[in-house]
Amino acid sequence: MTDEEIDQILLAHVSTDWRKAARVIGNAMSDIKIRVDGFDDDYLTAKLKSLKERGLIESFGDLTHIGYSEVRLPLARP
């Protein structure tokens, strides 16, 4: 599975509403485990941080602590 595929799986679980990062990662892990064993939440947390750095998602809180942070897709700006 490529990094791009993993990014797409993570993004599929993010919406324009705030969601707990732990929920997004947990849901993505369920999808990925069907395809590949060996992925853990630390790896997916790093991928979520990468999505934020690239501007593909927004976050609230410290993504290092996924239970205390939230993510969403960026809202359209006029």
Domains of the chain, residue spans: 3-72
* 47 within 8 A of 14, measured Cβ to Cβ: no
Query: Each residue's pLDDT tens digit in the chain (78 positions)?
Result: 788 999 999 999 999 999 999 999 999 988 876 556 666 788 889 999 999 999 999 999 999 999 999 999 998 765
**Environment class of residue 42 by beta-carbon count within 10 Å: exposed (0-12), middle (13-18) or buried (19+)?**
exposed
pTM of the predicted model as reported, rounded to 2 decimal places = 0.86
Report the chain's terminal Cα–Cα distance, integer Å: 36
**Domain boundaries 3-72, CATH class:** mainly alpha
